[in-house]
Structure formats: C-alpha cells, structure tokens
A and B are shown apart, each in its own frame.
Chain A
C-alpha cells in the first residue's frame, strides 16, 4: 500500500512539475520581446553565464578531444586504420560529445547558480516583492536567463568543439603519429554539413531546457536555506536527465530532418 501510494505520488508530481515547466516555457516565450527592454539585464546574464564559463568550456573541450582521439586511436592502430582517427573524432565531438558535455557543465555551473539565485529570492520574499510591485517575475528574472542560456550554450559548444578538435589533433600527432594534415583532411572528408547542423541545433534546445528547469525549480523553492540547497540539487539532476533524454529523441528526429534538408 505504502509503495503503491508513493509511486502514484511520484507520477502525480512528475506530471504536475513537467506541466508547470511547459507553462513557464510558454509564458517565457510570450514575454520574449521584454528581453529587448531589459537588455542590460540580459547582457549581464550572458556575461555571467557565458563569458565566465569560457575557460571551463575550453578545458573540458580540450580533454574531450584528447580522450576521444586517444581511445579510438589506440583501437584503430591495432586494426591498421589509425589515419581514420580524424574522422571519428570529428563526427563524435561535433555531433555528440561537444554539445552534450558542454550542456552538462553548463547545468552544473550555470544552472545550479540560476536555481540558487532564484531560490534565495523566493525564500527571502524577493519574488513576492516583484509581484507586489506589479512586475512579472517571469519577465524580470526568467526571460533574461532564458535568452542568455539559449544564446550562450551554442556559443560555448562551438568553442569547446573547436578546442576539442584541436586537442584531438594534438594527441593524434604526438601519440599516434598521424600527420596533422591527414587528421584534418580525414575529418573534413567525413564531416557533412548536416552533422554540424544536428550538433548545433541540439544546443539551442539544451539551453532552453537548462534555463526553464533551473528557473522553475528556483522559483518554487520553499523552506529557507535548506530548501534552496535541495532545489539546487534537484534542478541539476532534473536538467541533466532532461538533457540526456531529449538528446536521445533529438538525434532520431533531427538527423532525419537535417539529412533530408542538407544531405
């Protein structure tokens, strides 16, 4: 009995929460023109989320490329196909590793900060203050963060992909003994425009997911400081999961879409 009730409760809150997030997305999109009026706020969010995450994105990107190159390179070497390493690094970093892992680090760094910030505002009545002044918290707080995330996730992804590809080349030349021009030639031979389109179009969705999940969870925080901590933890878990699940569906839909369009 207890377990059944728990499971029912779990499903119930899952649907309630996801419904509320879709509502928040709708309201954010409706209020999007407000981002122009609140440009200074949007820019400062971009700065905070995007610019200061650049070093981390670069560092992570570098290692994604190096690890992918080393791992696949050593296997390929046994098969005598080590020259192909460039094409494998290119395909996996551009389509999958770059976008997803960049989204992950943004969840952890930017998403958590968003939830903690909005959560603190919620438990200290700052959100109620905004509402009492007739200011919509969605317009004032969520819209700038949403715009910043949707704009910055793709930029950070490009950045970490470029560095990742370069990191892969570094390993290919120094460890695997593949000449740089061979590495890049194989990469650009196998990479089609639609691969890039698939990888990049995902990042906009990831940005939107992170912003909506983290803002929603922050705005709903209750129970003081402890509640903010819990909300932050939940926001990171939920947004990571949502990014992964959406990635699965996006791969199947987007690859058909972009292949028919560009392939």
Chain B
C-alpha cells in the first residue's frame, strides 16, 4: 500500500497540531516517523486510516483520495491496514483471546476453528500463549501492547502502522519486535510505518526517516543521510535521545 499525505492541517479546539504536513510512504518499505512528544505523530497515524479527518489537505491510499470517504467506504480499506495503538487500547470487556479474534470474527474471514489456531499462534509468538482468557485489566502495560500487536497481525494486513512499538517493552523483547517488523517487511513486503522515540531501532529499521517539528516535516531522508542532518531541531533530538539511550 502506498500513502501520500499532502499539506495536512489539523487542530483540536484551537490547538493547531498539524500545520501543512506532507509525506510519502512507499509500498513495501519501512518508514520511520520521529518527533518530540506531543508533536502529532499519533494524530498523523489516525489520519492515515481515516479515523481522524484533516481540517484541510488530503490523504491518498494507492492513488485514491480517502479524505472525504464515509465510514462505510473506509471499512474495506481499514481491514487491509493494521494500527497498533500506543497504549494497546484493548477492549476491556473482552478477554485477550476475544480481543485478538475480534476482527476475524466480525468480518467472518475464517471459520471459528481456524480463528482459534491463528490467534493462539500469534499470541505465542508474542509470548502470551498462556494468557488467552485473561482480562486486559489484569495485564501489564507491555503485555497489553503485545496483545495489540497480535491483534493487528491476525488480520494479515498489507500495511502496519506501529505507534511506538517498543516503548514500555523490555530490551530483549523490543529487539525481537524489531526483528519481526524487519522480517515482515522483507518476507511479505508489508508496508510499514513506525512512530518511535527509540533511535536505535529507528535507524536499524528505517528505509526512510521523517522528522516532525511544529506540525511539519522538517527533515527527511534515508537513515544515513538523516543522521548527518544539519537541521538544529534534528540535531538536538538526536543528541538528547542518545543521552537517554546511554542512561539506560
């Protein structure tokens, strides 16, 4: 899937978050979006699926302008995209298993037996095979996030949008998740967008890096080029983040 965002503006009650943001997400590649906390990265991801609507500007998916699509028209597109929410965002009234099976069940994509197998398999990959019947409220933050990842994977999406996949997850698991992202991209050609603060994984994964500052993309390029950026905000971001990395 290919995404094209053009001159997007979005504000929430006078808080002008996105101010003319444009970016391209290439099919089958890993695009990493960096930016300070609260700069609108999550908001951007929600726009890519039509969950939020821009005040002006456009979002195109595979050449089709979805900006003004109705909910009904967006449904078939959304089935093809997986969004992994920053906080996991599991449905609290459903068990871990039911959360993961939700999409497959609602759309009747597979028979029930097959759904059980798929969900179990994905949860086992993420180290949660023994928590099928647990309620989300009883899970730790990192576990919730891993359930959310499993949920997105069960749908076999063509594109996956990761909202800070490794924050709140321990380093060994985080690097396993990085490998998973890389592998899916290489093997199946999943179009991937990763929003992260974790510079190590960002530079490991990225085919293309974008940096958001004050609602706009101020720097973009392949990781090697990006690292040599002369933009002062990028320099500051890289410097400060490496410090945090050292402390860990």
Residues of chain A touching chain B, judged by Cβ–Cβ distance below 8 Å, are: 120-121, 124-126, 128-136, 140
Residues of the A chain whose Cβ atoms lie less than 8 Å from the Cβ of B76: 134
Q: Are A132 and B87 in contact (CB under 8 A)?
A: no
Q: Are B87 and A133 in contact (CB under 8 A)?
A: no
Contact with A along B30-56 (1 / 0, CB 8 A): 000000000000000010010100000
Interface residue? B200 (CB, 8 A) = no
Q: Which of B83-136 contact A (CB under 8 A)?
A: 83, 85, 87, 89-92, 102-103, 106-107
Contact (A129, B85) CB under 8 Å given A134-B75, A134-B76: yes
Distance in angstroms between the alpha carbons of A130 and B92 in the assembled complex: 12
Q: Are A140 and B106 in contact (CB under 8 A)?
A: yes
Can you add 7 more A-B contacts, CB < 8 Å, to A125-B87, A126-B90, A129-B91? Answer: A125-B85, A129-B89, A134-B74, A134-B79, A134-B103, A134-B107, A136-B75
Q: B76, B78, B82: which has the most chain A beta carbons within 10 Å?
A: B78
Interface residue? B155 (CB, 8 A) = yes
Closest CB in chain B relative to A131 CB, distance in Å: 5
Residues of the A chain whose Cβ atoms lie less than 8 Å from the Cβ of B77: 134
Q: Are B71 and A131 in contact (CB under 8 A)?
A: yes
Closest CB in chain B relative to A127 CB, distance in Å: 9
Residues of the B chain whose Cβ atoms lie less than 8 Å from the Cβ of A120: 92
Residues of the B chain whose Cβ atoms lie less than 8 Å from the Cβ of A131: 49, 51, 71, 74, 78
Q: Could you jot down 8 A-B contacts, CB within 8 Å?
A: A125-B85, A126-B89, A129-B90, A132-B78, A132-B81, A133-B151, A135-B102, A135-B103
Distance in angstroms between the alpha carbons of A140 and B75 in the assembled complex: 13
Closest CB in chain B relative to A82 CB, distance in Å: 54
Contact (A136, B71) CB under 8 Å given A128-B46, A128-B85, A131-B51: yes
Shortest 8 CB-CB contacts between residues of A and residues of B = A134-B79, A134-B78, A125-B89, A133-B103, A132-B83, A134-B75, A129-B89, A135-B106
Residues of the A chain whose Cβ atoms lie less than 8 Å from the Cβ of B92: 120, 124, 126
**Closest A-chain residue to B76, C-beta based?**
A134
**Closest B-chain residue to A133, C-beta based?**
B103
Distance in angstroms between the alpha carbons of A132 and B106 in the assembled complex: 13
**Closest B-chain residue to A117, C-beta based?**
B93
Q: A120, A133, A136: which has the most chain B beta carbons within 10 Å?
A: A133
Residues of the B chain whose Cβ atoms lie less than 8 Å from the Cβ of A130: 91
**Closest A-chain residue to B52, C-beta based?**
A128
Q: Are A126 and B91 in contact (CB under 8 A)?
A: yes
Closest CB in chain B relative to A157 CB, distance in Å: 28
Contact (A133, B89) CB under 8 Å given A128-B46, A128-B51: no
Residues of the A chain whose Cβ atoms lie less than 8 Å from the Cβ of B78: 131-134
Closest CB in chain A relative to B202 CB, distance in Å: 23
Distance in angstroms between the alpha carbons of A134 and B155 in the assembled complex: 11
Distance in angstroms between the alpha carbons of A120 and B90 in the assembled complex: 12
Distance in angstroms between the alpha carbons of A125 and B88 in the assembled complex: 9
Distance in angstroms between the alpha carbons of A131 and B83 in the assembled complex: 10
Residues of the B chain whose Cβ atoms lie less than 8 Å from the Cβ of A126: 89-92
Distance in angstroms between the alpha carbons of A92 and B14 in the assembled complex: 53
